[in-house]
């Protein structure tokens, strides 16, 4: 599909894209996001159970 950044922005509202290393996947990203969220909230994993 031949598109430009502007074409994507106009139709989807997406204004930025993220790229990760090839060895990363959604699970790894989710774990890091959860760790960051718990740290920001001053929680531990034990607090969630």
Using the predicted structure, report yes or no on whether residue 1 has a pLDDT greater than 80.
no
- For residues 21 and 12, the answer to whether their CB atoms sit within 8 Å is no
Q: Would you mind telling me the total number of residues written for the chain in this entry?
A: 49
Using the predicted structure, report yes or no on whether residue 39 has a pLDDT greater than 80.
yes
pLDDT at res. 2? 86
Q: Mind spelling out the 3-state secondary structure of the chain?
A: CCCCHHHHHHHHCCCCCCCCCCCCCHHHHHHHHHHHHHHHCCCCHHHHC
Of residues 42 and 4, the one with the higher pLDDT is 42
Residues 11-35 pLDDT 10s? 999 998 888 899 999 999 999 999 9
């Amino acid at each position: 599909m031949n598109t430009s950044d502007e074409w994507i922005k106009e139709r989807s509202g997406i204004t930025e894209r993220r790229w990760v290393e090839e060895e990363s996947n959604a699970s790894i990203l989710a774990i890091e996001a959860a760790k960051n969220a718990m740290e920001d909230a001053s929680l531990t994993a034990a607090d969630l159970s």
